[in-house]
Amino acid sequence: MNTNKSKEIFEEAKKSIPGGVNSPVRAFQSVKKDYPIFIESAKGSKLFDEDGNEYIDMIGSWGPMILGHNYPEVLEVVKSEMEKGTSFGLPTKKEVVLAELVKECFPAIEKIRLTTSGTEATMAAVRLSRAFTKKNKILKFEGCYHGHSDSLLVKAGSGLLTFEHQDSNGITEAVTRDTITAPFGDFEKIKKIIEDEKDIACVIVEPIPANMGVIETSKEFLEFLREITRKKNTVLIFDEVITGFRISLGGACEVFGIQPDLVTLGKIIGGGYPVGAFGGKKEIMDLISPVGNVYHAGTLSGNPVSVAAGIKTISILKENPEIYKTLEKRTKELVSKIENLIQKYEIPATVNYVNSLFTIFFAKDKIENLEDAIDTSDEMFAIYFDTMLENGIIVPPSKYEAHFISYVHSDEDYEKFYFALEKAFEKIKN
Ligand code: PLP
């Protein structure tokens, strides 16, 4: 496969963009590649690079593309919205429509605010929790990623894990001190922290972590968090930036039947355009300015193009419940075939999945938390990534990320995936 143009662009990119990329995982560094592929366009389940190569996309822009790229009805709405103007700095009726649509799917959300990214949504949710409880600290879980605001970058997943630093430089000691971390799923430790520490404003959790690879959550654990936070007057935040509208219309809240105090969203609710949102109980949300005194704002918050794409995407998902059923069925089949190939080639690997999210971990035993995820093979993952790429399949360039499949991935796409996977496993075996 010829990727010379990508190589040239990367050399050029490094002169003006740190590391040549605008988000670290995109550099392909952790899968031991000298340069990433540069994407020229996308359609349906496919990406096309600058050299004209075609790839089956298993990244889906890290989640938003549940309907695939440029789904015709979404594209149509976006085009017509753009002709009306792309940013006004004043409210639009469509924002109300999107707010109402999201509320219908998430009963925990009584009021909602739009942002431009998931990072802003979680940052605002934390600030709001502090104002509501008049407490300072936050409890998060090792390997969960909630965007790149200071207090949430402590022991975070995603790109931080990929580059082997779990905390970022440039964050003050005071901020770091106010973020307490615990291993995901460790009932005892978490109980002790929450009982001993009186100053915890919120517990923030990816209800199904997907930024240390996918971790399968037990309902029991989330119920435990709900119970303990309720008792301690601590706000429970479900960060559903990935899981919201991905694992079902009502995300993990619906799947597990749990009502957190606040929910953060992003990705799918913008249909592939920049967006984020946080929402929850009225009494908490009404602390936001201009009703209350907690500041949150944004030049492009509620951007009309993103909002129109979001409304269309959610409406399609809502009107076609078979989409989630199909995605679940296809992922189950996919995972079962991957597991068969793991056995056939005797590869020390295991798969975690939830609806259309999955991660292949190169380790024998079940992966349940960050420690397990770190302890998986980098070398095998790099061979897997490389072989898939050579065979026209782009999988996440990090062992700590999820694969995201879309509704428009075809049988032929899956067949090509299995074909490439056999080649990858053959190489790993040798
Ligand atoms: N929360 C979760 C669970 C995420 O996975 C991400 C990003 O991947 C974020 C928050 C941050 O969202 P954004 O990248 O839109 O800032």
Tens-digit pLDDT profile for residues 25-77:
999 998 989 999 999 999 999 999 999 999 999 999 999 999 999 999 999 99
Statement: residue 172 has pLDDT above 70: yes
Active site residues: 145, 239, 267
Atom of ligand 1 minimally distant from the CA of 206 = 3
241 Cα–ligand 1 center, Å: 6
Q: Where in the chain is the domain with CATH 3.90.1150.10?
A: 4-70+321-429
The fraction of the chain above a pLDDT of 70, given in percent, is: 98
Distance, C-alpha 272 to centroid of its chain: 13
372 CB less than 6 Å from ligand 1? no
The whole-number pLDDT of residue 32 equals 87
pLDDT tens for each residue of 378-397? 999 999 999 999 999 999 99
For residue range 232-251, what is the model confidence (pLDDT) as tens digits? 999 999 999 999 999 999 99
Cβ(396) – ligand 1 distance below 6 Å: no
CA of 310 to the centre of ligand 1 (A): 16
Quick one: pLDDT at residue 169? 85
Query: Does any ligand 1 atom lie closer than 6 A to the CB of residue 49?
Result: no
Residue-wise pLDDT for 247-293, tens only, equals: 999 999 999 999 999 999 999 999 999 999 999 999 999 999 999 99
The Å distance, Cα 121 to ligand 1 centre, comes to: 9
Judge if the beta carbon of residue 117 lies within 6 A of ligand 1.
Answer: yes
> Which part of the chain is CATH 3.40.640.10?
72-319
pLDDT at 35: 97
Segment 396-423, tens digit of pLDDT: 999 999 999 999 999 999 999 999 999 9
Question: Given this model, what pLDDT does residue 201 score?
Answer: 98
The pLDDT confidence band at residue 143, using thresholds 50, 70 and 90, is: very high
pLDDT tens digits along 118-131: 999 999 999 999 99
From ligand 1's centre to the CA of 211, what distance in Å? 9
Rounded distance between C-alpha atoms, residue 344 and residue 425, angstroms: 9
CATH code at 72-319: 3.40.640.10
Distance CA 237, CA 229 (A): 10
Q: Is 242 in the pocket of ligand 1 (CB under 6 A)?
A: yes
CA–centroid distance, residue 277 to ligand 1 (Å): 11
Mutate to test the pocket of ligand 1, among 61, 65, 119 (most ligand atoms within 8 A of CB): 119
State residue 171's pLDDT score: 87
pLDDT at 162 over 90: no
Nearest CA to ligand 1 atom 12: 118
pLDDT for the residue numbered 166: 63
- pLDDT score at 165: 63
Nearest CA to ligand 1 atom 10: 146
Rounded to an integer, the average pLDDT of 1-14 is 97
pLDDT of residue 38: 98
| Residues 190-217 pLDDT 10s | 999 999 999 999 999 999 999 999 999 9
Read off the pLDDT band of 21 (50, 70, 90): very high
Q: Are 242 and 396 in contact (CB under 8 A)?
A: no
For residue 277, give the 3-state DSSP assignment. Answer: strand
Cβ atoms of 143 and 359 closer than 8 Å: no
pLDDT tens-digit map of 71-99: 999 999 999 999 999 999 999 999 999 99
User: What per-residue string of b and e applies to 130-166 under the rule 16 or more CB within 10 Å gives b?
Assistant: bbbbebebbbbbbbbbbbbbbbbbbbbbbbbbbbeeb
Query: Does ligand 1 have an atom closer than 6 angstroms to the CB of 162?
Result: no
Q: Which residue out of 62, 126, 146, 400 has the highest number of ligand 1 atoms within 8 Å of its CB and is therefore the one to mutate?
A: 146
Ligand 1 mean position, distance from CA 138 (Å): 18
Determine the CATH number of domain 4-70+321-429: 3.90.1150.10
